Structure 1
Amino acid sequence: MRRSLSTVAAALALAAGTVIGTSSEASAATAPGCSDAHQIGNTAYITTSSGETAASVKQYYGCNKNFGYVYVWQSFRDTHSSWRIFTWINTTPGTYLGLMSTTGIEVWSNGTATAQMCTRAGGLIEFGSYSFQAYTDTRC
């Protein structure tokens, strides 16, 4: 399933941005095209099998849409030379709405018209032959 996610995402346009780097998580910039988006629910953390925190996953709501957001931590970037991150909105297991990916340090999903549904944001990081993911809590 993770490979199919990579294949789907590779066909999408890449989204990248910049965030001031720190050794912990950073505050997200603004959702593309929606300056009033605000975080809903808890932040999730993508951790590797060694327990290292690689990235944060957040869900945002604004402009009557939900957005997923992933930010790669500076401490991970300091010890890894390349990765690919993905984010999406999930309404049921196996759905990847608004899926976007990048090799940058942050990525926003496309906004999804899911305001009247229960949703969670998903995030995945791939590096080398490894991939790890996390989900925010579900918000209704």
Structure 2
Amino acid sequence: MHKKIVAAALAAAALAMTFTGTAQAEYNPACKSGVTQIGATKYLKHGSETVASVKQFKGCNKNYAYVYVWDSWHAKHPNNHLRAGIWTRTSDGAVDYTGHDGRAQELWSRGANTLGVCTYAAGNVFGSDYSVHGSTEERC
């Protein structure tokens, strides 16, 4: 009986994780050899609801910022405006910045030649009635 309860609990947890709307789309079309996430994921929230994830990646001798709008938010707000960029400690602005207006659910920055300096990824998601932004921690 105990094994059945544990099995049922594990199955329920797996099912719940399947429908949380988290990001698994981490294929960067600009870096076919693959990218590796560096640092922790930053979660962008509107109130208590998670809107998007911001991550920093390295690959193909560049750093990339990545923004992914969670399925649950995107279903209610399909016309998001997304921005992603790589910043350095010494820059006055983004070293690598890109944006998309419309129905996109994810956005990769173009890639910055910044592997030799400290960087962080920043992302914005906004619409007519909300705006969220945030950045990952700095990675050196």
Please give the range of the TM-score, normalised by the shorter of the 2 chains.
0.7 to 0.9
2:130 partner amino acid: Y
Q: Report the equivalent of 1:37.
A: 35
Preserved contact between residue 98 and residue 109 of structure 1 (Cα < 8 Å): yes
Which aligned pairs between 1:44-55 and structure 2 lie closer than 5 A?
44-48=42-46, 50-55=47-52
Report the alpha carbon displacement of residue 22 of structure 1 after superposing the two structures with TM. 5.2
RMSD: 1.8
Dislocated runs of 4+, deviation >4 Å: none
Q: Which structure: larger Rg? A: 2
Structure 1's unaligned 5+ residue stretches are 1-20
Aligned length, in residue pairs: 119
Residues 1:105 and 2:105 aligned together: yes
Report the alpha carbon displacement of residue 54 of structure 1 after superposing the two structures with TM. 0.4
Percent identity between the two aligned chains: 38
Report the alpha carbon displacement of residue 32 of structure 1 after superposing the two structures with TM. 2.8
Aligned pair in 2 of structure 1 residues 22, 127: CA closer, same or farther (>3 Å)?
farther
Preserved contact between residue 44 and residue 58 of structure 1 (Cα < 8 Å): yes
Q: Which has the higher contact order (CA 8 A, sep 6+)?
A: 1
Report the alpha carbon displacement of residue 24 of structure 1 after superposing the two structures with TM. 2.2
1:134 partner amino acid: G
Aligned pair in 2 of structure 1 residues 95, 121: CA closer, same or farther (>3 Å)?
same
Q: Report the equivalent of 2:116.
A: 116
Which stretch has the larger CA shift, 80-89 or 104-113?
Answer: 80-89
Preserved contact between residue 66 and residue 111 of structure 1 (Cα < 8 Å): yes
1:74 aligns with one of 71, 74, 79: 71
Where is the helix percentage greater, Structure 1 or Structure 2?
2
Structure 2's unaligned 5+ residue stretches are 1-17
> What TM-score, normalized by structure 1, do the two folds share?
0.77
2:120 partner amino acid: R
Q: Report the equivalent of 2:54.
A: 57
> What TM-score, normalized by structure 2, do the two folds share?
0.77
